[in-house]
Amino acid sequence: MMGDETNEGLIQFICNEILKRADKEVNKENCCSKYELTVSMFELYNEKIQDLFLDPNNRVKSGLKVHQNPILGVFVGNLSKVSITSIKTLQLQLDIGNTNKALGVMRMNSKTSDGYTICELIFKQYYLVLYIRT
């Protein structure tokens, strides 16, 4: 999913395609749209949800809370959302998130987390509508 220095991961591939297509759409003649791509990254570890974009020393010790809303659906409250404008920006954020993961020594691999990591990408497209009064 994440890839490495030599192989692009699925997350990078998807974001690259989204950014290319959005830029192509915005650069069309007479285009009246804009877009926003944000990323969040959190970890479920020891039954607590932690924001991986925050320094471990600055996190809420009890973890973040899951909320449900009839309009927004299920979401994690107070989760950091970072605007992504390039693959370089995305990779920087993924690196920060991976650095802040809780690493638990497992039997076979000392670099594997015992938790679950979720990377959330949100793409919003806005259409600008012009009203002309006559």
pLDDT tens digits along 20-73:
988 888 777 666 788 999 999 999 988 899 999 999 999 999 999 999 999 989
Kindly state the average pLDDT of the residues 93-111. Answer: 74
Counting the structural domains of the chain, the total is: 1
Dist. CA 63–CA 61, nearest whole Å: 5
Answer whether residue 25 is part of any domain. no
pLDDT for res 114: 72
Query: Domain residues for 119?
Result: 36-124
Domain assignment present for residue 24? The answer is: no
Query: Using 50, 70 and 90 to split pLDDT, how confident is the model at 134?
Result: confident
* CATH number of the domain to which 43 belongs: 3.40.850.10
- Would residue 4 count as lying in a domain? no
Whether residue 106 is predicted with pLDDT greater than 60 in this model: the reply is no
65/76 Cα distance (integer angstroms): 6
